[in-house]
């Protein structure tokens, strides 16, 4: 069971940023990744639809013999992680949430910005995070429609992307934010561009590394940490596999075999 794979999924390619953190921390683990690109973006979908997709993914990874499940998607976590933990009570399941707690601790100005999808920002879970960890700071939220779609096409540098991102960042800078939460797994791929737009003393915070640490903790508790040898990551997508193959070298820094996910 130690050498069983870990299943990871996202609405698209954004979760590759989380997959990279898992691989960095747990290099002996074999990884399976499903990009539900045929249904992107989750952030604009109804919660019932997202819960259904989460269930489909969980069933698939169970069939693949995965020893753990990672929801590398803030929106999917908000909508579906509670149901998955109820349905699979003995399965280690790790979700994502915007890094409100570390951002509130890190801010010096007392003003924190959040870049996220509409679905995440409108969720009760996000509101609960604010109530729990951000009562002493001002939180400026910025929905970012359109960013996910551009990143899905492997666009990390175009003038159109730069213009859109600047439009979303400027209100946060204007409000005096000194800490910005990247509240979608796609957004860490924009860090190089963001750093060109913001002063050096502004912190960018995402939760990929924290998710990897939580996975490590859950696997260690159950004596499930792999000892190797590791197998190459395997990829599936519910959209065009050729498109995913083309952007893997951009976002994953290596090519890979991509299969069609028809579920």
What digits encode the pLDDT tens for the residues 30-88? Answer: 999 999 999 988 877 888 999 999 999 999 999 999 999 999 998 899 889 999 999 99
CA dist list (Å): 173 to 21, 112, 152, 177: 28, 10, 26, 6
Question: Are 200 and 105 in a shared domain?
Answer: yes
Residue 253 has pLDDT above 90, yes or no: no
pLDDT tens per residue across span 115-126:
998 878 888 788
Q: How confident is the model at residue 1 (pLDDT cuts 50, 70, 90)?
A: confident
Q: What is the reported pLDDT for 261? A: 96
Q: What is the reported pLDDT for 20? A: 95
CATH number, domain with residue 13: 3.40.50.1860
Question: Are 110 and 150 in a shared domain?
Answer: yes
pLDDT tens per residue across span 152-171:
999 999 999 999 999 999 99
Residues in a beta bridge with 204: 180
Question: Are 46 and 92 in a shared domain?
Answer: yes
Question: Are 144 and 161 in a shared domain?
Answer: yes
Question: Are 90 and 10 in a shared domain?
Answer: yes
Q: How far apart are CA 156 and CA 140, in angstroms?
A: 24
Note whether 249 and 26 are within 8 A (CB).
Answer: no
Question: Are 239 and 172 in a shared domain?
Answer: no
Full-model pTM: 0.90
Helix (H, G, I), strand (E, B) or coil at 34: strand
Q: How confident is the model at residue 95 (pLDDT cuts 50, 70, 90)?
A: very high
Residues in a beta bridge with 70: 8, 94
* 24 Cβ contact list (under 8 Å, min separation 6): 212
Catalytic residues: 73, 184
Question: Are 197 and 132 in a shared domain?
Answer: yes
CA dist list (Å): 233 to 81, 138, 263: 23, 41, 20
Q: Is residue 1 in some structural domain?
A: no
Q: How far apart are CA 99 and CA 194, in angstroms?
A: 17
Burial category of 85 from C-beta neighbours within 10 Å (exposed 0-12, middle 13-18, buried 19 and up): middle
Q: Is residue 66 in some structural domain?
A: yes
Average pLDDT value for residue range 227-252: 91
Our count of domains for the chain comes to: 2
Instruction: Between 261 and 229, name the one with better pLDDT.
Output: 261
With tokens 């609960």, the residue in question is 128
Percentage with pLDDT > 90 across the chain: 81
Note whether 145 and 40 are within 8 A (CB).
Answer: no
Q: How far apart are CA 51 and CA 109, in angstroms?
A: 38
Q: How confident is the model at residue 12 (pLDDT cuts 50, 70, 90)?
A: very high
Residue 47 belongs to what domain range? 6-96+208-260
Helix (H, G, I), strand (E, B) or coil at 91: coil
Q: What is the reported pLDDT for 139? A: 95
| Mean residue pLDDT across the chain | 93
């Amino acid at each position: 069971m130690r050498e069983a794979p870990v299943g990871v999924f996202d609405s698209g390619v954004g979760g590759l940023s989380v997959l990279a953190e898992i691989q960095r921390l747990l290099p002996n683990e074999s990884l399976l990744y499903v990009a539900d690109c045929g249904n992107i973006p989750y952030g604009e979908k109804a919660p019932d639809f997202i819960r259904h997709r989460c269930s489909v993914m969980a069933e698939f990874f169970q069939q693949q013999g995965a020893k753990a499940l990672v929801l590398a998607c803030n929106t999917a976590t908000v909508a579906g992680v509670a149901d998955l933990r109820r349905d699979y009570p003995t399965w280690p399941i790790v979700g994502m949430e915007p890094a409100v707690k570390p951002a509130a601790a890190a801010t010096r100005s007392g003003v924190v910005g959040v870049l996220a999808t509409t679905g995440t920002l409108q969720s009760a879970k996000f509101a609960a995070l604010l109530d729990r960890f951000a009562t002493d700071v001002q939180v400026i939220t910025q929905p970012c429609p359109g960013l996910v779609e551009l990143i899905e096409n492997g666009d990390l540098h175009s003038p159109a992307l730069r213009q859109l991102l600047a439009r979303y960042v400027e209100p946060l800078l204007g409000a005096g934010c000194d800490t910005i939460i990247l509240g979608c797994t796609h957004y860490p791929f924009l860090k190089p561009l963001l750093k060109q737009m913001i002063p050096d003393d502004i912190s960018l915070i995402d939760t990929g590394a924290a998710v990897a640490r939580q996975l490590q903790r859950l696997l260690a508790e159950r004596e499930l940490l792999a000892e190797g040898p590791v197998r190459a990551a395997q990829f599936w997508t519910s959209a065009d596999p050729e498109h995913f193959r083309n952007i893997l070298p951009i976002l994953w820094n290596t090519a890979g075999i991509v299969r069609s996910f028809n579920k």
